[in-house]
Amino acid sequence: MKVAVMGAGGVGGYFGGLLARAGHDVTFVARGTHLAAIQERGLRVESANDGTFTVSGAAVEDTSGAGFHDLVLFNVKMYHNPQAIESTRPLMGP
């Protein structure tokens, strides 16, 4: 399954990381230094239940070239909703 994770912080990173570890094609949508870290080193997840692991996957800020996804996990703070909602449009089919 092709999954986009809008907001790859604590919540989005955890669930996106589990999906990537399970073999799904995950694209993380992030910004700034967090985006750069994911692009360079992958996404590291530390969990009391699931242990510590690092997953790789596409990491983008601009979603216009990411293509359609089967599922979009929306994990952003409420004050970012208007911009983040617009950013999901290229990820969803017509």
Whole-number pLDDT of residue 80: 78
Domains plus CATH for the chain? 2-91 (3.40.50.720)
**What is the model's pTM?**
0.90
Report DSSP letters for the chain, one per residue.
Answer: -EEEEE--SHHHHHHHHHHHHTT-EEEEE--HHHHHHHHHH-EEEEETTTEEEEE--EEES-GGGS---SEEEE---GGGHHHHHHHHGGGS--
Mean pLDDT, the chain, whole residue set: 92
44-88 per-position pLDDT tens digit: 999 999 999 999 989 999 999 999 999 999 988 887 778 888 888
